[in-house]
Amino acid sequence: MSEERPLRTIRSFVRREGRLTPGQQQAIDNLWGKYAIDEGDSILDLNALFNRDAPKVLEIGFGNGASLIKMAISQPEHDFLGVEVHRPGVGQLLKAIEEHGLTNLKVACTDAVELLKNRITDNALDRLQLYFPDPWHKKRHHKRRIIQASFVTLLTEKIKSGGHLHMATDWQHYAEQMLDDLSQNDLFQNCSDDGGYIERPDYRPLTKFEQRGINLGHGIWDLLYKRK
């Protein structure tokens, strides 16, 4: 009889490593201790991490970091924590943080769900950003999408009262699912006047990827919710 294997925990991402450029590897080697957070299970004191008490924004899946860098530069009154599992993107962002001399942006290369569950205190976040997450477009993979009812419940604990959850996707079915999952949680209030989607806010930069999609006629859906 074959030996039984333990069930594998479903994650909200697939680690697509890719090849690090020499510059990205150098940034990880030399700048990690300055701008990045080590793996671990200890609770993060975000005010201590940034050496000040300021609004805290957590972004899940920042890609190559171009958009997040622009936000950190244009919103110096906010502190940003970017979470990404793609190491080339992490290296690219570390390089940009150093080049711009930013003190309001830190990086974590880890599973965002586990980070939120185990290391972020309740009511710690003023805004959580989730832009263009993997849509897992095949129906049998929808369970892998990060936005699920249980994850929304977790966010009600981590986002403080009056804080915001901002999501964006270029996949209509995922946008509709996000709208449905959030509408079923009484602790989140849709900021759209008609209870649907919003125009892209000025603070969210238009990415090259997004602009290319718009040029091809693809739709973009932004959703903004306020934690009651």
Short-list 116, 111, 102, 114, CA closest to 31: 102
pLDDT digits (tens, 9 = 90+) for 185-211: 999 999 999 999 999 999 999 988 788
113 vs 16, more confident:
113
CATH of domain 43-227: 3.40.50.150
Q: In percent, how much of the chain has pLDDT > 70?
A: 93
pLDDT at residue 139 tops 60: yes
What backbone phi and psi angles, to 5 degrees, belong to 110? -165, 175
Supply the DSSP symbol for 82. Answer: E
The residue annotated as part of the active site, out of 45, 53, 126, 134, is 134
Domain residues of the chain, as ranges? 43-227
Q: Helices 149-158 and 172-183, interaxial angle, to 10°?
A: 60
- Return the structure tokens found at 194: 């008609």
Q: What is the DSSP letter of 194?
A: T
Judged by average pLDDT, the poorest of 59-68, 190-199, 210-219 is 210-219
Provide the 3-class DSSP secondary structure of residue 204.
coil
Question: Does the annotation mark 193 as catalytic?
Answer: no
CA 9 from centre of chain:
20
What the block records as the tokens of 29 is: 């080697």
**Cα(61)–Cα(82) distance, rounded to whole angstroms?**
7
CA angle 25, 72, 37 (to 5 degrees): 45
Q: Is 96 helix (H, G, I), strand (E, B) or coil?
A: helix
94-138 pLDDT, tens digit per residue, is 999 999 999 999 999 999 999 999 999 999 999 999 999 998 878
Longest dimension (CA), the chain: 62
